[in-house]
Structure 1
Amino acid sequence: MDCQGHGSHVAGIVGGDARNITGPLAPPQPWVGVAPEVTLGGYRVFGCTGVTGTDILLAAMEKAFNDGMNIINMSLGGGSSYKGYPTAVLGDKLSKMGMTLIASAGNDGSEGVWMVGNTGLGDESTSVASFTNAFGRFQTFTYGGGKFPYNPASNFGSVIDLPASATLFPLFDKAGVLQDGCDAAAYTGLDVKGKVVLALGDYTRCGSGARATIAKATGAAGLLTHTTPFGMTNIGGIAGFPMASIEHAGGDAVLAAYKKNPANAFTWSKTPSDITVEGGGTLSDFSSYGLDGDLRSKPDVGGPGGNILSAYPRAKGAYAVLSGTSMSSPYVAGSQALFYQGKKGGPRGLETRKIFKNTATLTKSFGSKNLASAAKQGAGLINVMNALTSTTTITPDHIDLLDSIRLRKTQKITIKNTGKKTETYVLSHSPAEALNSYYDGTGYPNPAIHFEEDFASVTFSQNKVKIPAGKSATITLNFAEPKAGDAKQFPIYSGYVIATPEKGNVPVHIPYTGVKGDISQVPIMDVKRGWPKFQVANAQGQLVPAPANYKFDWKKDTAAVLVRLGSHTPSLTVRIYDAANNLKGYLSSTNNGPAFGFSGRTKNIKDGKLVQTGYIWKGEVFAELNSTSPTALPSGTYSLVVAAQKKFTAGAYPADFEVYNLGSFKQ
């Protein structure tokens, strides 16, 4: 009975059972959760606004442990970070005591690399990516003789019902190229009143709410977004305005029909239909990319999270189809429960994660001939039957090669035969597509990733090994980073080391990841677009650039330091120096606390605006990094300096930092 339905949906995926329900609460089709015999423990951490504090999350995790829960599912997150994030730290401690922590990898696939979510970053936690369901039940429309599914904006509703007079209007520019609808100027001189606008579904420039607002203001009857690169996207839109995403192939077909006959009419369905989803069975476009701040292999594994039917509050219809890593995480949590039930007193914690990673199903990106990056799919799509029946494990369950300067080129793996007969294993290597986000020279990761064939090579101390039942063998691996790929563009390469039993048992594998180039040279601050900034609130409460040597009166003035990070930093500090260049302390913000410590990268764009993080300031500082409370600065002249430590450096200031002096002020 949660307010928004998210918790009900997640719980249903883990352990729901709607196979024998009749009457007014019957589901649109019978379905069963992953582990219908599971015992669920519910720990409320959100109010109806969907906001919570880390302290509440930690308390809930501890309570779950004290209540005897075996598995914690956390379908939540707060952006990219390091494994020192509090929930990740506690997750590791609980795992060492036999629990399993499963967490969403995040829904920031449209943001590009370095965005895997913080909650599952622990060394022993499981960070879960999303794969799109191969089948779905969607409302449809017919146009030009074709039938097409659509995914309505969540803020609008579930069914679009427009009159036949609402004909299609593709939002072309003068060259005939479909535009994304992010600019009101794109509608200049166009009459879209009463028509359904078709726009490009590329969300790298702005969100769905901004597009819907602009289209509604022009008098459009509705808005369809032509998804790129494939599938249907989850969009929010705005209340009261019909908006939906459609599949890429469907959008192409609609455009082709329009060009043949612009007068074609829409017919909107009254009931949903079962369809085969474009891109179904492959990675969801929204699923976040790694790596984490330490170049660790995250996410760990994937589960079905796109277009998932599950429970919903009765007041909202009792059932719903939702998408997100919030859905894939409980699928993996339920799979862990099935495994525990099947194995009874068998392995727990990190050992279980290893088995699931070893036995997952490797997949290719939609439309690609190459395996998807391990920085996107982890070890692949979870396969419970493989996990239950496999008689082989590989330790460790992943290899972090780091970067070119720190390349861990020699690695050892241990293959264990847990079966009852001697087995011979053949060792092999399958590379995956590389991710290049720094090809445009801006210094900020481009969300439109270039996929490259930058393949590493691997040699084995022996290509075949015979292992008796219950015994293990250690193999030495030697890696060479890709010859292809520009080291100045920091491509993330990856692949899989595979051990295949000759007698036909389940093959097992582990992923490896690395970065070509010197990771300490990856730009951190978005300098070319003007960050960081020092600003002051004017009489209207708007932030404007602080004048040089501005004199603050902290009883009435408010300042802000604005940052925009394109990559993780082990230490982001805002430092205050006096006129003699003596360090007086670190900024104490009223919204984000002390301005020091590790930090993940910033999201790219929201509703047409570049995202930034603001430290709101009222003149207080933490005198030392270990200070417990801030103090006010005395009167004087000071300067503000933002310093972001480069990754994999010792942290010597200023040599190991990107340093930006934001100018002087008085008080």
Structure 2
Amino acid sequence: MIVGLTPIKVNGQIESDELSVIVEVDGDPYQHKAYIEDHHPFVEVVEVYDTLLNAIAIKGNRQDIEEITLMEDIEKTYPVRTYHTTNVNTSIPFLKDPANQLDKPLAYNGEGVKVGVIDTGVDFHHPDLTSSYEGGYDLVDLDKEPMETLPEQGQPTLHGTHVSGIIAANGNMKGIAPEADLYGYRALGPGGMGTSVQVIAALERAVNDGMDVVNMSLGNSVNGPDWPTTVAVNKAIEKGVTVVIANGNAGPNNWTVGSPATSDKAISVGASTPPLTYPYLFDSFTDKKIPLQTLMDSVPWSLQRKYPIVYGGIGEKEINDAKGKIVLMKRGKIPFEEKARKAEEAGAIAVLIYNNEKGPFQGGLNDKGDEITIPVASLSKKDGEWLLEHMVQKNKWMATEYETTEDKMAQFSSRGPVTISWDIKPEIVAPGAAINSTVPGGYQELQGTSMAAPHVAGGAVLVKQAHPNWTPEQVKGALLTTAMPISDEKGNRYEPIDQGMGRMQIKKAIHTDTILHNPLLSLGKLTKLKEDVTYKLEIENVSDETKAYHFELPEQEKGLRWHFPKTFTIAAKQTKTVPITLEVTTSQRKKGLNQGWVTLRSDETSYELPYLFVNKEANFPRIMGFEFGLQAFSDGKYEYRLYLPGGAKGLTVDLYDAKTLQFKRTLLQLEELKKGLTEGVIEGRKVGDSGSYLANITIVTENGETYYQQVPVKIMSD
């Protein structure tokens, strides 16, 4: 099967006769390379993969490529799952030298450490990156220049350059590790899109290039520990590479972490806030406080006194009486920048856009934002409707006030746990909101766990520089062991599946004398009336003297009884595994996720260890990642795949007309499906008529429960 299919573009036009592809092969890939060079002289073998993949990358005429892919020894590839970008101001000094950390200055800058960024490429001509950039590879165009996608090549990208700047910018802007050797691996092409095989091939290249640390600010929606990219990440770590992965931007709901952040060996990163000043509207009479989310590319919201608010609808009509006032508008139809421009032309002092559906939203003013000189912010539907009723219709004025905050979880940050393995994710958090960094042609503020992960990757680089002989397990353990649990505005600690061990503290990780190698206590799924679960915690004393440790007994909870070892010692440079046993009376605990914290102490240092177990059952998604489309060069065959974390007794996929929702036909029926990946091929004649459909996926579990998911599907005949 062909994977990583990339038509060559010339002057922005696709040349349909030439292709760049990656194919997985059966047997020795070097023998396949020799065979192709002997028998297909017009096909270029660009790369051979033999570390994480068994594959070759080839370029050539479409007809020649098709002939090669039909050979018997071309193996079925890993599922081609689409990946995308999970779409350094005050955050870096905040992490490198906060007032509450060690007095000793941070003496490390990343020198001598190699860090690879698997992403959309990197603008290696950017003046802040030229001194750090040492090379890389383009897995989209299959060449040695991993430049971001340019406008003439398709939808341009900037994500990889932004991520690279956070790690290793060394110019007007300084990254976490400005003296590190930076390598870029372009696995995501126009629009930030790519395939799982391109990602795996990029990771293999990074391993073979000798990277010490790799950052992957990318992912998909499949929450499972055995997706192929997750498996490849684990193999890379086993070969000595520390891999840092963004947790995803599908929060705040649980079970939203996606592969490959589901890897149990990688460092999975969620997003917290750096020190930020937030504007909010405040009405003292009603004690109403409305937070504002400034749109991307908007000028800062800096109003200092009260202003009246007028209503501008959705922006279709001219706005009357807006001069010197705030214009409130509803989201819908008209682009944000057009709404803002119309309000500005009417003399408005600022614009508020409220959601047309439940909850808040994030948005941007695109490339035209620099033409708009007034601030533009978003509101939730609830807050917008409140303003309309209590301020606009009653001709009242509203004040802007400001609040400075830090170390709060970003709402967009994906939450755990991982299905099947029940691992706690994320494992650590770092600033990912309002992060200014390098982009082609300058600088831009972005937010996401994509921005949090490179902060941690940079932290890993500094730990590796300080301790060059440490393994990936020790680097990860040091960062997790010394992370600081964070709390919400009310002082309540965020749950383990929100923050893992907490916010990264680089200095403490570098100078730690203890490494907890598996400090997130994932206790699994409990099904019996009473169960004893034993977790083996591995503790390494990296100091030069014997250290004593003991656990604090947590407050007694109904249905839980902890058994910890008595005070114990670990000699200098030694490791000990200690058992922690939890007795659970499941009938006295709530069904689903049960989580909390236990405390380990050594001298004056305390380590907060999160724990989690699933009681009986959990409300995790039962259907994920459904894909359906034509199989490449297959003479009209279609392939399908989906992920079933709990398996299924039966599965049915019914097609409905996308417009009328009228039932058309049943596409697929399967029985007795195991946990994990389900995939297969359907003959074209069995698929039916072309058209746009809504696929209704129904599964029935072993317990007789029924679950549904609807996914748009297009069927196109050859």
Q: How would you bin the TM-score normalised by the shorter chain?
A: 0.5 to 0.7
- Matched to 1:366, the amino acid is E
CA contact 2:525–2:614 (8 Å) conserved in 1 = yes
Partner of 1:377: 499
Query: Mapping of 1:528-539 within 5 angstroms?
Result: none
CA contact 2:419–2:645 (8 Å) conserved in 1 = yes
- Please give the per-residue CA displacement for 1:244-275, whole angstroms capped at 9, x wherever unaligned: 14799x999999996999464999xxxxxxx9
- Which of 506, 515, 532 does residue 393 from structure 1 map onto? 515
What is the CA distance between 1:57 and its match in structure 2? 1.2
CA contact 1:573–1:597 (8 Å) conserved in 2 = no
Q: Distance in 2 between matches of 1:508 and 1:327?
A: 26
Which 10-residue stretch deviates more, 57-66 or 398-407?
398-407
Partner of 1:616: none
The alignment status of 1:299 with 2:426, answered yes or no, reads yes
- Which of 199, 208, 212 does residue 70 from structure 1 map onto? 212
- Matched to 1:337, the amino acid is V
Query: Mapping of 1:628-643 within 5 angstroms?
Result: 630=683, 632-633=685-686, 642-643=697-698
Partner of 1:104: 246
- Please give the per-residue CA displacement for 1:637-663, whole angstroms capped at 9, x wherever unaligned: xxx9955365xxxxxxx667747899x
- Which of 130, 133, 143 does residue 274 from structure 2 map onto? 133
- Which of 534, 541, 548 does residue 424 from structure 1 map onto? 548
- Please give the per-residue CA displacement for 1:113-137, whole angstroms capped at 9, x wherever unaligned: 110122211121111001101136x
Partner of 2:158: 5
- Matched to 1:399, the amino acid is L
Q: Counterpart of 1:42 in 2: which secondary structure? A: strand
CA contact 1:498–1:508 (8 Å) conserved in 2 = yes
CA contact 1:91–1:122 (8 Å) conserved in 2 = yes
What is the CA distance between 1:286 and its match in structure 2? 1.4
- Which of 571, 579, 593 does residue 468 from structure 1 map onto? 571
What is the CA distance between 1:224 and its match in structure 2? 2.3
Partner of 1:357: 480
CA contact 1:423–1:468 (8 Å) conserved in 2 = yes
- Matched to 1:128, the amino acid is V
Q: Distance in 1 between matches of 2:534 and 2:281?
A: 56
Partner of 1:244: 377
Q: Distance in 1 between matches of 2:176 and 2:259?
A: 25
State the TM-score, normalized to the length of structure 1: 0.62
Q: Distance in 2 between matches of 1:659 and 1:131?
A: 33
- Which of 485, 496, 508 does residue 607 from structure 2 map onto? 508
Identity score, percent = 23
CA contact 1:307–1:322 (8 Å) conserved in 2 = yes
Q: Counterpart of 1:466 in 2: which secondary structure? A: strand
Partner of 1:402: 524
CA contact 2:257–2:417 (8 Å) conserved in 1 = yes
Q: Distance in 2 between matches of 1:517 and 1:169?
A: 53
Q: Distance in 2 between matches of 1:378 and 1:353?
A: 13
Q: Counterpart of 2:270 in 1: which secondary structure? A: strand
- Matched to 1:357, the amino acid is L
- Please give the per-residue CA displacement for 1:92-146, whole angstroms capped at 9, x wherever unaligned: 0010000111111011114x1110122211121111001101136x9999999xx
CA contact 1:642–1:661 (8 Å) conserved in 2 = yes
- Which of 391, 397, 407 does residue 281 from structure 1 map onto? 407
Q: Distance in 2 between matches of 1:165 and 1:283?
A: 30
Q: Distance in 1 between matches of 2:641 and 2:545?
A: 62
- Which of 96, 116, 129 does residue 257 from structure 2 map onto? 116
Q: Distance in 2 between matches of 1:384 and 1:456?
A: 38
- Which of 471, 488, 512 does residue 348 from structure 1 map onto? 471
Q: Counterpart of 1:113 in 2: which secondary structure? A: coil
- Matched to 2:600, the amino acid is A
Query: Mapping of 1:144-293 within 5 angstroms?
Result: 151-154=293-296, 157-158=298-299, 167-169=308-310, 194=322, 196-198=326-328, 216=339, 223-224=351-352, 234-236=362-364, 243-245=376-378, 262=395, 264=397, 278-293=404-419
- Matched to 1:16, the amino acid is A
- Matched to 2:479, the amino acid is F
CA contact 2:639–2:681 (8 Å) conserved in 1 = no
What is the CA distance between 1:302 and its match in structure 2? 1.0
Query: Mapping of 1:608-623 within 5 angstroms?
Result: none
Sort the Cα spacing of 1:458 and 1:9 in 2 relative to 1 into closer, same or farther, 3 A.
Answer: farther
- Please give the per-residue CA displacement for 1:302-341, whole angstroms capped at 9, x wherever unaligned: 1111122222222xxx122221101110011111110110
What is the CA distance between 1:354 and its match in structure 2? 2.0
What is the CA distance between 1:69 and its match in structure 2? 1.4
Q: Distance in 1 between matches of 2:394 and 2:265?
A: 58
Partner of 1:331: 455
- Matched to 1:495, the amino acid is G
What is the CA distance between 1:343 and its match in structure 2? 0.5
Q: Distance in 2 between matches of 1:397 and 1:43?
A: 31
Q: Distance in 2 between matches of 1:95 and 1:560?
A: 32
State the TM-score, normalized to the length of structure 2: 0.58
Sort the Cα spacing of 1:478 and 1:570 in 2 relative to 1 into closer, same or farther, 3 A.
Answer: same
Q: Counterpart of 1:13 in 2: which secondary structure? A: helix
Sort the Cα spacing of 1:84 and 1:256 in 2 relative to 1 into closer, same or farther, 3 A.
Answer: same
- Matched to 2:498, the amino acid is K
Q: Which segments of 5 or more consecutive residues in structure 2 lack a partner in the other structure?
A: 1-122, 124-147, 149-155, 345-349, 627-635, 655-665, 689-694, 711-718
Q: Counterpart of 1:57 in 2: which secondary structure? A: helix
What is the CA distance between 1:396 and its match in structure 2? 2.6
Q: Counterpart of 2:507 in 1: which secondary structure? A: helix
- Which of 413, 418, 439 does residue 312 from structure 1 map onto? 439
Q: Counterpart of 1:403 in 2: which secondary structure? A: strand
Q: Distance in 1 between matches of 2:385 and 2:407?
A: 21
Sort the Cα spacing of 1:254 and 1:116 in 2 relative to 1 into closer, same or farther, 3 A.
Answer: same
Higher relative contact order (CA 8 A, sep 6+): 1
Q: Distance in 2 between matches of 1:303 and 1:15?
A: 16
What is the CA distance between 1:588 and its match in structure 2? 7.3
CA contact 1:455–1:483 (8 Å) conserved in 2 = no
Q: Counterpart of 1:32 in 2: which secondary structure? A: coil
Sort the Cα spacing of 1:627 and 1:109 in 2 relative to 1 into closer, same or farther, 3 A.
Answer: closer
Sort the Cα spacing of 1:496 and 1:255 in 2 relative to 1 into closer, same or farther, 3 A.
Answer: farther
Sort the Cα spacing of 1:568 and 1:170 in 2 relative to 1 into closer, same or farther, 3 A.
Answer: farther
The alignment status of 1:42 with 2:184, answered yes or no, reads yes
- Please give the per-residue CA displacement for 1:457-491, whole angstroms capped at 9, x wherever unaligned: 55233342233323444433232459999735x3x
Q: Distance in 2 between matches of 1:51 and 1:661?
A: 24
- Matched to 2:491, the amino acid is S
- Please give the per-residue CA displacement for 1:410-457, whole angstroms capped at 9, x wherever unaligned: 2232333222222222312669xxxxxxxxxxxxxxxxxxxxx99985
Q: Counterpart of 1:60 in 2: which secondary structure? A: helix
- Matched to 1:516, the amino acid is N
Q: Distance in 2 between matches of 1:50 and 1:105?
A: 17
Partner of 2:28: none
- Please give the per-residue CA displacement for 1:346-389, whole angstroms capped at 9, x wherever unaligned: x22233212211111111123233x2111010111111212111
Q: Distance in 2 between matches of 1:122 and 1:398?
A: 14
What is the CA distance between 1:77 and its match in structure 2? 1.4
For the aligned residue pairs, the C-alpha RMSD in angstroms reads 5.5
- Matched to 1:119, the amino acid is P
Q: Distance in 1 between matches of 2:231 and 2:527?
A: 28
Q: Distance in 1 between matches of 2:332 and 2:640?
A: 27
- Matched to 2:276, the amino acid is F
Sort the Cα spacing of 1:402 and 1:309 in 2 relative to 1 into closer, same or farther, 3 A.
Answer: same
Q: Distance in 2 between matches of 1:361 and 1:198?
A: 40
- Matched to 1:116, the amino acid is V
Q: Counterpart of 1:8 in 2: which secondary structure? A: helix
